[in-house]
Amino acid sequence: MIGPFIYTLLVLVVAGIIHLSTVLVMPWVATRDGFLRASALARDNSMIVLSATEVRNALPYTDPAQAVAVCRFVLDRGPVRVRLATADWPTTILFLRKGAGIFHSLTEKAATQGVVDVVIATSEQMDKITALDSDDDPVQELRVTAPVDIGIVLVRSLVRTDSEREGVMKQLRNTSCEAETL
Residue 70 DSSP label? E
Of the two residues 2 and 131, which places its CB atom closer to another protein in the complex?
2
Q: Which residue type is seen at 99?
A: G
Residue 115 near residue 83, CB atoms below 8 Å: yes
Of the two residues 44 and 103, which places its CB atom closer to another protein in the complex?
103
The binding site for another protein (CB under 8 A) comprises: 3, 7-8, 10-19, 22-24, 26-27, 30, 32-35, 37-38, 52, 56, 59-65, 90, 92, 94, 96, 100-103, 105-107, 154, 156, 158-162
Provide the minimum distance between the beta carbon of 58 and another protein in the complex, in angstroms, as a whole number: 9
Provide the minimum distance between the beta carbon of 118 and another protein in the complex, in angstroms, as a whole number: 13
Of the two residues 107 and 130, which places its CB atom closer to another protein in the complex?
107
Q: Which residues pair with 121 in a beta bridge?
A: 145
CA distances from 70 to 28, 29, 177 (A): 20, 22, 9
The SS3 call for residue 170 is: helix
